[in-house]
Amino acid sequence: MVLANLIIILLVGGIVAWLCEQISEHLPKWIAALSLIFSLFPLRSILFDILFDQGSNTHTPWIIDEISPWIPRFNINFHLALDGLSLLLVLLTLSMGLIAVMTAWKEIKQRTGFFYFNLLWSLAGVIGVFLALDLFLFFVFWEVMLVPIYLLIAIWGYENKRYAAMKFFLFTQAGGLLMLLSISALVLIHYQQTGILTFDYLGLLNHQLPEQAAYWVMLGFFIAFAIKLPIVPFHNWLPDAHTQAPTAVSVILAAVLLKTGGYGLIRFVLPLFPEASLEIAPYVMAIAGFSIIYGALMAYAQQDLKRLVAYSSVSHMGFVLLGCYAMTSQAWHGAVIQMLAHGVSTSALFALVGAIQYRYHTRDLNKLGGLWQTIPKLSAVGLFFVVASLGMPGLGNFVGEFLVLVGSFSTYPKFTILAASGLILAAIYSLAIAQKTFFGPLKLGQAIDLDRREMVMMMSMAILLIWMGLHPQPLIDLAQQTLNQFPQSLSSPSQLPLGVHQ
Amino acid sequence: MNAAMGYALLPWIIISSTALIVMLFTAIKRDHQYISLMSSLGLFIALIVQVMQISAIEYQSELVIIDGTTSLLSAVLIFVSLLLSLLLYPWLESINDPKEEYYILFLLATQGGLIVCASNHFGSFFLGLELMSLSLVPMVAYADNNAKALEAGIKYLVLSAIASAFMLMAIAIIYFYSGTLEIQKVVEQLATLSSSNNTLYSVAIIFLLVGVAFKLSLAPCHLWVADLFEGAPLPTAALLATLSKAAIMIVLIRLFSTGEWHNQAHIITIISVIAAASMIIGNFLALLQKNILRLLAFSSIAHFGYILLAILAIKPKLPLTHSTTLANEAAIYYLLAYLVTVVGTFSILILLSNNKEMQPPTTFTIEKLRGLFWVKPFTSIVLTLLFLSLTGIPLTVGFIGKFYLTLAAVNGQLWWLLAALIIGSIAGLFYYLRMILIMMEKRKEDAESMTISHPIAGHFVLGVVTLLVIGLGILPGRLASFIEGLIS
């Protein structure tokens, strides 16, 4: 029950936080932070294993595998399992959840109990998504996490919150329904061919669908994940949702929610439909390249700092898509690292924008400027994360983008060259942030610099990024556990996987 | 009348006797409190008997069929009536008209619904239908000479008479052809007919469908439903949305449960068009409604379109699973989910309206819900859950219903209808989210205070409904296996 406990701690924490609002409005945030820290407790033995005794559990892909019956009518089980990739993303979720609680510490003053309730429940849903191995259970978590996030944006958001929240929900729900159809079709075709009715990922994994059917079923999953990621024709909800959401929720959206899309591609689309994925790979690579450049160009055109960071997310997540469909080990490693690094660096940028907005009540690039003169600590930290976001070697984002590009070049050189130009555009919009906010003449008044809480928060994220940039091998090893299970037909055998020492 | 029959029909006997006793009491001495209690008690006893019968009794005669499915659905219908009957007292106490008659009509309508639900013969079907409809007509117009209510009453009377006329004509032609009025036999005969040379027979089926579509307010025949929901007193509207529609839907499910209709291609086409039109038109009409009753009316059109989808998925030879049970289960589960959720929604609306607002024209606007969450958190959370259940978000019973539906429709390979389902669902999501959002908004300073009328019964009803919606949403396993057992 280790994994179920992980989710239950967050759910119970959420309810307790809500109830404690009656006692004091400061209590909920402490409860939220504590329950996030406590939720690491069930994972303690695994973390110790990995930190001090590397390689002891590589013989099985699943570090923990828990299964109990749920709906016997359809042979649906409450099946949670943890492998390298899910472990990385669960840790990212918990740590960024903690960051989100810290950013909300002073910003959220109204109805704190209900706010932290929604925050913890959405994190519980996301963790469920990363752990569920039963397709029905996966879908349940996928949909359930939307409701608290919808409420977070709609109640605590900025000026245009209702529109943004509605758009966010409708886009993801449309994808969700398509995925539900695909899940149904996949399960029924499997039943028709084998006589076994199962929603279990492992049961469906080694089954080949008829070609035509596989293509359509795959497309349903792909669109659902592409909306979440988001990829250009479906990215429309993201800038609005990010801009209107309170800082903590922007952090959650950027750090965790977008990753569910990338996770879905790596966990479900590629292994379940290898042939169909190979078939659409060239088109997807083209879309990914376009996404990278379009996101970067749009980012540069923004006046609203938060919107700019949101569009840069579109560009960065294009690299994840590029990495997923390049069909080489390096590119997949790169996609995973890029997800983690983007999660940290973009969260940090949103936290910074939140800190600026908290001080100056504006996010308009034209009104900001010269902040270095009055709040040097914030500006210095800001410069660090801006540079991280543009892909400076030595920081996490560089490793991710570099691996993606190296991995993709061998299979799709043209699209890779296209995508690489996105790095230059990234430098342009990133430096524009630095130039327009931190340097130049001071346009606004004095303000208080980062306090100790904010410093701790920013520093921990900076350390994470530096660690990812200098020593990414443990992360690659963990991700490799998951990639080892990919069907042989997916990757060309000539290429040696980067992180395997056997 | 032998013992087995007597036992099988015991719930009907209890409800009818309750109606008779209430009538006699009303004739002797009018005592509202007493009569209200007696009606609820009668329904409660009937519910217990019906629940005990669910898997214990199998009874079939020429006129009625009482098997597991019928018993289960009858139990749910009685449950719906019972919940609503608990909420009637404060409203009826406040009106000037005689109050006690409403209970008689209420019980008779329930009885009619149960007969329709168990009918195995066009004769019993029609009698039950008329008993239900004719009891509902005065219930619609049951309000202090209010013009709007009278208009709604007349509308319902005329339209339901037209629908009945269509059905009678259809039944006559069917009898002329097949020489029998037993539903099972008619369906069996239909299977052997080839569709090309039976124009008259097809006309009969189409007439029957027109009648059914009127009663269920499916797409081309849906125009009356919003005016009626708005014009009728709230409890009557609740009964119209649940009992009267569900009873007819059950007969439709029974008609189609063997899947032999798939020989009649044009009839399947007509039903498919009705289903798609209902899903899309219903949801889009509801999109920008300001009055919650109108919104729920249009939404119910869409919901019955969804159930038609499950009915269409009942095919004798399925490409995927070779079994008709899944689609049958889907239709029944969705119907159960709909009944529980909608009766819950109406209960909350009844609880939130003060007595004057219960009188038609019911101006229960969405605006009235503004800020409810911060004043009445429990009620508002339950209402949010119910709305989420109606849109089919997981952890509610509505989601399990929608999951069944998708699985059945994919199994039947109804791709175009599934596209309509998705478009309709997204539109549906929009207006339910809008209402949820309004509940979470800041309350206006000058807003009148919200009180729950009838707190004890009200909170009891809310508790039961929440338990069902969440319980069946999180742990649907038992019920799913149970329904599967009933059908196969």
CA distance B395 to B71: 26
- Give the pLDDT confidence score for residue B351 in this predicted structure: 86
Kindly state the tokens that stand for B330.
Answer: 């889907």
Pick from A192, A316, A307, A176: nearest CA to A250: A307
Q: What is the dihedral of CA B165, B170, B171, B177, to 10 degrees?
A: 150
Element (DSSP H or E) covering residue A79: strand A76-82
Q: What are phi and psi of B395, to 5 degrees?
A: 70, 10
SS (H, E, C) A211-247: HHHHHHHHHHHHHHHHHHCCCHHHCCHHHHHHHHCCH
Q: What is the DSSP letter of A207?
A: -
ipTM value for the complex: 0.92
If one counts every other C-beta atom within 10 angstroms of the C-beta of residue B147, the result is 10
> Cα–chain-centroid distance for residue B342?
8
- Give the pLDDT confidence score for residue B142 in this predicted structure: 83
Higher-confidence residue of B91 and B286: namely B286
Tell me what the mean pLDDT of segment B107-123 comes to. 94
CA distance B410 to B402: 12
CA distance B296 to B229: 8
Instruction: Tabulate helix, strand, coil % of chain A (nearest 5).
Output: 75, 5, 20
Which candidate from B320, B403, B429 shows the least CB-CB separation from A170? Answer: B429
Nearest CA in chain B to A151: B437
**Residue B72 exposure: Cα atoms within 13 Å on the Cβ side:** 20
- Give the pLDDT confidence score for residue A57 in this predicted structure: 53
Best residue in A155, A170, A172, A184 to probe B by mutation, most B CBs within 10 Å?
A184
Average pLDDT, chain B: 87
Task: Say yes or no: B430 contacts chain A, CB-CB below 8 A.
Answer: yes
Instruction: Tell the residue number behind the tokens 């269409």, with chain if given.
Output: B312
Tell me what the mean pLDDT of segment B373-388 comes to. 89
Is residue A78 within 8 A of residue A128, CB to CB? The reply is: no
Task: Say yes or no: B477 contacts chain A, CB-CB below 8 A.
Answer: yes
Kindly state the tokens that stand for A10.
Answer: 């967050």
- Give the pLDDT confidence score for residue B448 in this predicted structure: 63
Task: Say yes or no: B471 contacts chain A, CB-CB below 8 A.
Answer: no
- Give the pLDDT confidence score for residue B97 in this predicted structure: 76
Strands A64-71, B59-60: pairing is unpaired
- Inter-chain CB proximity B403 and A180 less than 8 Å: yes
Tell me what the mean pLDDT of segment B319-325 comes to. 62
Q: What are phi and psi of A394, to 5 degrees?
A: 100, -10
Tell me what the mean pLDDT of segment B13-39 comes to. 92
- Give the pLDDT confidence score for residue B90 in this predicted structure: 82
CA distance A250 to A254: 6
Task: Say yes or no: B419 contacts chain A, CB-CB below 8 A.
Answer: no
**What is the per-residue pLDDT across B168-213, written as a single tens digit (0 to 9) for each?**
999 999 888 888 888 888 888 777 766 556 788 888 888 999 999 9
Helix-helix angle B183-192:B147-178, to 10 degrees: 60
> What is the least distance, in Å, from the CA of B348 to any CA of chain A?
22
How many secondary structure helices (H) and strands (E) does chain A include? 23, 2
Task: Say yes or no: B381 contacts chain A, CB-CB below 8 A.
Answer: no
DSSP per-residue codes, A363-389: -BTTT---HHHH-HHHHHHHHHHHHHH
Q: What is the DSSP letter of A328?
A: S
DSSP per-residue codes, A113-164: HHHHHHHHHHHHHHHHHHHB-BHHHHHHHHHHTHHHHHHHHHHH--TTHHHH
- Give the pLDDT confidence score for residue A494 in this predicted structure: 42
Element (DSSP H or E) covering residue B480: helix B477-487
Q: Is B200 exposed, middle or buried (0-12, 13-18, 19+ CB in 10 A)?
A: exposed
- Amino acid making up residue A384: F
Instruction: Tell the residue number behind the tokens 């089954």, with chain if given.
Output: A207
Element (DSSP H or E) covering residue B59: strand B59-60
Does residue B108 carry a pLDDT above 70? yes
Is residue B453 within 8 A of residue B355, CB to CB? The reply is: yes
**B19 Cβ contact list (under 8 Å, min separation 6):** B42, B104, B107, B108, B111
**What is the per-residue pLDDT across A428-437, written as a single tens digit (0 to 9) for each?**
999 988 888 8
Contacts of B424 in chain A (CB under 8 A): none
Tell me what the mean pLDDT of segment B266-277 comes to. 91
Q: What is the dihedral of CA A218, A63, A496, A269, to 10 degrees?
A: 0
Nearest CA in chain A to B427: A170
Q: What is the pTM of this model?
A: 0.93
Position A84 confidence tier, pLDDT thresholds 50, 70, 90 = confident
Higher-confidence residue of B446 and A297: namely A297
**What is the per-residue pLDDT across B393-430, written as a single tens digit (0 to 9) for each?**
998 999 999 999 999 999 888 899 999 999 999 999 99
Q: Which of A20-24, A487-491, B52-56 has the lowest mean pLDDT?
A: A487-491
Tell me what the mean pLDDT of segment A459-475 comes to. 92
Q: Most distant CA pair in chain A: distance in Å? A: 72
Does residue A360 carry a pLDDT above 80? yes
- Give the pLDDT confidence score for residue B323 in this predicted structure: 63
- Inter-chain CB proximity B394 and A139 less than 8 Å: yes
Pick from A199, A196, A71, A77: nearest CA to A135: A199
**What is the per-residue pLDDT across B39-69, written as a single tens digit (0 to 9) for each?**
999 999 999 999 988 877 788 888 888 888 8
Q: What is the DSSP letter of A253?
A: I
Does residue A493 carry a pLDDT above 60? no
Is residue B230 within 8 A of residue B291, CB to CB? The reply is: yes
- Give the pLDDT confidence score for residue B469 in this predicted structure: 92
CA distance B376 to B451: 9
Does residue A82 carry a pLDDT above 60? yes
**What is the per-residue pLDDT across B349-364, written as a single tens digit (0 to 9) for each?**
888 886 666 666 667 7
Pick from B45, B83, B48, B53: nearest CA to B69: B53
Element (DSSP H or E) covering residue B66: strand B65-66
**What is the per-residue pLDDT across A191-223, written as a single tens digit (0 to 9) for each?**
888 888 889 998 888 777 888 889 999 999 999
- Give the pLDDT confidence score for residue B451 in this predicted structure: 67
Is residue A83 within 8 A of residue A481, CB to CB? The reply is: yes
How many secondary structure helices (H) and strands (E) does chain B include? 23, 2
pLDDT > 70 in chain A, percent: 96
- Give the pLDDT confidence score for residue B337 in this predicted structure: 94
Residues of A within an 8 Å Cβ radius of B: 69-74, 111, 136, 139-140, 143-144, 146-147, 150-151, 154-155, 162, 165-166, 169-170, 173-174, 177-178, 180-181, 184-185, 187-189, 191-192
> Cα–chain-centroid distance for residue A80?
19
CA distance B440 to B377: 10
Give the three-class secondary structure for A111: coil
Q: What are phi and psi of B412, to 5 degrees?
A: -85, 0
- Give the pLDDT confidence score for residue B256 in this predicted structure: 84
Task: Say yes or no: B325 contacts chain A, CB-CB below 8 A.
Answer: no
Position A184 confidence tier, pLDDT thresholds 50, 70, 90 = very high
- Give the pLDDT confidence score for residue B185 in this predicted structure: 85
> What is the least distance, in Å, from the CA of A398 to any CA of chain B?
39
DSSP per-residue codes, A28-70: HHHHHHHHHHHTTGGGHHHHHHHHHSTTTT-SSS-SEEEEEEE
Contacts of B476 in chain A (CB under 8 A): 71
Give the three-class secondary structure for B64: strand
Q: What are phi and psi of A81, to 5 degrees?
A: -150, 155
CA distance B42 to B107: 9
